[in-house]
A = this chain, B = another copy of it.
Amino acid sequence: MSLRHADVVVFGSTKPDDVPVSWIKPGATIISCARDLLSVQCLYFSEKHNYGQQNNPAAEKTVGSLAVAMRMQNMVKNMERWIQSQQYRKWDLHCLKLQPLSPVPSDIEISRAQSPKAVDVLAKEIGLLTDEIEIYGQTKAKVRLSLLERLKDQPDGKYVLVAGITPTPLGEGKSTVTVGLVQALTAHLNINSFACLRQPSQGPTFGVKGGAAGGGYAQVIPMEEFNLHLTGDIHAITAANNLLAAAIDARILHENTQSDKSLYNRLVPVVNGMRGFSAIQLARLRRLGINKTDPETLTEEEISKFVRLDIDPSTITWQRVVDTNDRFLRKVTVGQANTEKGFVRQAQFDIAVASEIMAILALTTSLQDMKERLGKMVVANDKKGEPVTAEDLGVTGALAVLMKDAIKPTLMQTLEGTPVFVHAGPFANIAHGNSSVLADKIALKLVGEKGFVVTEAGFGADIGMEKFFNIKCRASGLVPSVVVLVATVRALKMHGGGPNVTAGAPLKKEYTEENLQLVADGCCNLQKQIQITQLFGVPVVVALNVFKTDSPAEVDLVCKMAKESGAFDAVPCNHWSAGGRGAVKLAQAVEKAANQKNSFKYLYSLELPIVEKIRIIAQKVYGAQDIELSPTAQSQVDRYTQQGFGNLPICMAKTHLSLSHQPERKGVPTGFILPISDVRASIGAGFIYPLVGTMSTMPGLPTRPCFYDIDLDPITEQVKGLF
C-alpha cells in the first residue's frame, strides 16, 4: 500500500466535498474512502503533516489512544480495500442511445440531435475526482496532471494507434474509425476505452475542410465546440508564439540603437536604489560562464557579453502565427513604420498549429518538462553561428505562464457518451502529427489494465505512424499494443490506377461502380503499409471504412488480400452510418490482437548520424533507392551536428499523397532518389525536420470558403452550416 503521495486522506461517511477547505493543503490529493467506518465521523490523516488536529480541536478531544490504534488498523484494512477498488474495473458508464437515420444527416445535425451528458457526470463515471477536473461550460473539462501522480502505480491499459494507407485528398476517415472503435468497445462490448484526438486548427474550419470531430454516427459532440475555440489551447499557443516573435525583433532593435551601458541600465535597472538580476538573467550569466550575482561587479566586457544576444537577422527561424487561413501572410515585410528606424526584414506567418510550441505541447510529459523545452527552443543564430534560445531572450517563464492551462487535456464525449481527450494538433509534415503524450498517459491510467486507449496519427502510416513510433513513443516511453490501419476501396482503386480524385469535384464512375481489378492492383499500397507496421514489431488490424458504393465482392477482396499480406485481421466497418454497432467486429479483432506477442522496436538508433537516420527512413519506410541532400541541407546537417543536436530523432516533412516525394506517384513507387532540399530543427520539441520539397505552412481561403454557409441562430444560439 502506498500513501507516499497523499497529503490528505479522508475517511468515514463523508465525501471529499464535505471536508472544510481550510483543512486541505493546496495541491493535496483527497481520497474518499469506504463508508462503513461508522464510528468515525470524519477522521483525516496525512503522512507528512496532521493538518486536521490544528483546526479541529473537537475531533482531537474525542480520539483516545486505544481508539486511535483501532482506527489505524481499520484504516489500513480500508486503505487496502480502497486500493484494490482502484484497480481495473468496468466503468459504470451511462451510454447514450443512438438511433441512426437513413440517409445519414449532416454531421452538425447528428451532433445537435444528441444531448451530451454533463461533463462532470462523465468525469465521475470514469473515476476522476472532483478536484482533478476544471469544467469549461457544460460539455468540456480540463483534466489536471495531478492524476498521473495519484495513479502512478497502476498498470496502463492497451495502447492502440490508428493510422492509414496513403490517402486520397478526401482522407480515409481515421478520426471516424478512432471514434467508432471506442464507441464499439465501450458502448457495445462494455470495455473501458478512451479516444485521444488532435484538436483541429480553426483556420480550415472556415476555409475548405470543415469539421474534424469524426463524422456521421462516429463523432465527438458537441462538434461545434470541438471545432471552434475548444478550451483555448491553440489561442494560448498563438499568444506564446507571438510574444517570443515580438521579443526577437524588439531585442534586435534595442541592441541596434543603444550602447552597452544604456542596454545594461535598462536590462538591470536601479529600483528603489538597488540593482538586481532577475532569476532568468542569473541563469544567462551562468551559461556565459560569468559567476557573479552583483550587477555592480561586472566588467565592461562581461556587460557587453551579457547585454548583446547579437542575433543575425538572416538566420531567424521563428515565425509569427495566426489561426486563420491567411495566404497574404505567407511572405511579408515587417518593421516598416518610422518608429522601427529602418530595421525592416522579410518574414512569414504560419498557421498556429505549425508553431513549435504546438509540437512541444504534444510531446511534453509534465509542466517542468514543458518549461525546459520552451526555454530550449532555438529561434536564430548569433553572428558567431551559435544558437539563440527563448531562454536567452528571458521569456521562458512568460511562455510557461501562457501555456499553463493548455497543458491539461480536454475531456469531451462521443455520440454514445464514451470519453474522449482532445489535446494538441501539431502539423503532420514539419512536426509529428500526433495528439498529446499527456492525454494518452492519463487515458491509459483511467481505462485500467484491461481497457483500451485509441490514439490517432496524421497522414498515412509511412509518415504519421513512423513518427508516432520513432518520436512520440520515444518521448513517452509507451509501448503500443496494436496498429489499426484504415483503408477505403476508393483509395485502393486510386492506387490501382484509377483516375485522379480531387476535393470538390464529383467522383469518376470507377469509384462508384464495382471494379475488382482496380482494387486488386491498388492493394499493393495497403500491403506496403502493413509491411511498414511490421518493421516496428506491432500487430496490425486493417479497418476497411465501407462506403455505400462499395460492392460486397470489393470488400471481401480487400480483407482477403490484407490478411494474406500479414495483417492479424481485416474487418469492414460501418460506424459512419451505424455508430459503434458498426465497428463491433473491428473492436473484437483489436481486442484479440492486443493479446498477441508484441516485439515493439524503434527503427533507428538516435546515435546514428543525421544523414544515416534520414536514409533508413527513406529506404525502409518509403522504399527509396537512396537520398540526395542539397548543399543547403548538407550545411544545415553539419551545423546542427556541430551545435550538438545530432542525436535527435528525425521528423520527415514529405507529402502524404505518395510514399515517394512525388504526390502523383500512387501505389508503391520504387527506384526513386528522395531529394532533401533543406534541414531544419525544432530543438524544444526535440527533432530535426528534413524538407522533402517545399511545405506550405499557411493554407489559403478558396473563392467560396465554408463560411458562406456558416451561421448562428440568434434565438436558439445554434450553429448552422458546419460539417
Chain A residues near B (Cβ < 8 Å)? 21, 26-27, 115, 134-138, 142, 202, 206, 224, 228-229, 232, 235-236, 238-239, 242-243, 245-247, 249-250, 253-254, 258, 263, 266-269, 278-281, 320, 322-337, 339-340, 346, 348, 366-368, 371, 394-398, 400-402, 404-405, 504, 700-712, 714-717, 719-722
Bound-state CA distance A592–B137 (Å) is: 40
Given contacts A134-B138, A707-B243, contact A368 B401 (CB under 8 A): no
Bound form: Cα–Cα A714–B149 in Å: 14
Task: Tell which of B134, B135, B235 touches A232, judged by Cβ atoms closer than 8 Å.
Answer: B235
Shortest C-beta distance, A145 to chain B (Å), equals 9
Contacts of A333 in B (CB 8 A): 332-333, 336
Find the residue from A238, A368, A371, A703 having the highest chain B CB count within 10 A.
Answer: A703
Q: How far is the CA of A258 from the CA of B327 in the complex (A)?
A: 17
Q: Is the CB of A714 within 8 A of B368?
A: yes
Taking a contact as CB atoms under 8 Å apart, the answer to whether B324 and A331 are in contact is: no
Enumerate chain B residues within 8 angstroms of A705, measured Cβ to Cβ.
247, 250, 394
- Given A236-B229, A367-B717, also A325-B711 (CB < 8 A): no
Q: A115-B21, A714-B368, A717-B367 are in contact. Are A326 and B249 (CB under 8 A)?
A: yes
Q: Which residues of the partner chain B approach A334 to less than 8 Å between Cβ atoms?
A: 328-329, 332
Q: Which of B228, B348, B394 contacts A402 (CB 8 A)?
A: B228
Known A-B contacts A232-B229, A398-B710, A701-B246; the reply to A327 vs B339 at CB < 8 A is yes
Cα separation A232 to B229 with both chains bound (whole Å): 8
Chain B residue with Cβ nearest A334: B328
CB-based contact A708/B242 at 8 Å: no
Can you spell out 19 A-B residue pairs with CB atoms less than 8 angstroms apart?
Answer: A26-B716, A136-B136, A206-B243, A229-B402, A239-B324, A245-B326, A246-B325, A250-B705, A258-B703, A263-B703, A267-B703, A269-B704, A281-B708, A333-B333, A367-B714, A397-B721, A398-B706, A401-B722, A404-B719
Does B279 contact A711, Cβ atoms closer than 8 Å? yes
Q: Could you tell me if A405 and B229 are in contact, using CB atoms closer than 8 angstroms?
A: yes
The chain B residue sitting closest to A234, CB to CB, is B235
C-alpha spacing A483/B278, complex, angstroms: 42
Residues of B within 8 A of A247 (CB): 701, 705, 707
Asked whether A134 lies within 8 Å of B137 as measured between CB atoms, the reply is: yes
Q: Contacts A250-B328, A337-B330: A239 and B704 contacting too (C-beta < 8 A)?
A: no
Q: How far is the CA of A327 from the CA of B404 in the complex (A)?
A: 26
| Chain B hits for A707, CB < 8 A | 243, 247, 394-395, 397-398
Q: Separation in Å of the A701 CB from the closest CB of chain B?
A: 4
Instruction: Please give the distance in Å from A260's CB to the nearest CB on chain B.
Output: 12
Cβ of A336 and Cβ of B346 under 8 Å apart? yes
Most buried by B among A266, A400, A701, A710: A710
Quick one: closest B residue to A345, CB to CB? B328
**A709, chain B: closest CB distance, angstroms:** 5
> Is the pair B340, A335 in contact by a Cβ cutoff of 8 Å?
no
A404 to B716, CA, bound (A): 11
Tell me the nearest residue of chain B to A224, going by C-beta: B401
When distances are taken between beta carbons in the complex, the residues of chain B under 8 Å from A281 are 708
Known: A136-B135, A328-B340, A721-B397. Contact between A404 and B712, CB under 8 A? yes
- Asked whether A404 lies within 8 Å of B704 as measured between CB atoms, the reply is no
Given contacts A246-B326, A346-B336, contact A228 B331 (CB under 8 A): no
- From A368, which residue of chain B is reached at the shortest CB distance? B714
A242 to B325, CA, bound (A): 9
A704–B716 CA distance with the chains assembled, in angstroms: 49
Docked Cα-Cα span, A707 to B115, in Å, equals 44
**CB-defined contacts of A325 to chain B, threshold 8 Å:** 246
Contact call B242/A324, Cβ cutoff below 8 A: yes
A250 touches B712 (CB 8 A): no
Q: Chain B residues with Cβ under 8 A from A704's Cβ?
A: 266-269
Q: What is the CA–CA distance of A398 and B717 in the complex, to the nearest angstrom?
A: 13
Inside 8 A of A332's CB, which chain B residues have their CB?
A: 332-336
Query: A266 touches which one: B224, B243, B396, B702 (CB < 8 A)?
Result: B702
Question: When the two chains form their complex, are residues B228 and A401 in contact, meaning their CB atoms are under 8 A apart?
Answer: yes
Distance of A703 from chain B, by nearest CB (Å): 4
Of all chain B residues, the one with the shortest Cβ separation from A277 is: B708
Residues on B with beta carbons closer than 8 Å to the beta carbon of A504? 269
Partner of A401, one of B238, B280, B711: B711
* Chain B residue at smallest Cβ distance from A343: B328
Give the residues in chain B near A279, CB-CB below 8 Å.
Answer: 711
A711 to chain B, nearest CB (A): 3
Asked if A708 contacts B278 (CB within 8 A), the reply is yes
Residues of B within 8 A of A323 (CB): 239
Report whether B703 and A328 are in contact in the complex, using a CB–CB cutoff of 8 Å. no
Cα-based distance from A320 to B323 in the complex (angstroms) = 12
Known contacts A280-B708, A703-B258; is-contact A239 B229 (Cβ 8 Å):
yes
B371 near A714 with CB under 8 A, answer: yes
Q: Is the CB of A27 within 8 A of B716?
A: yes
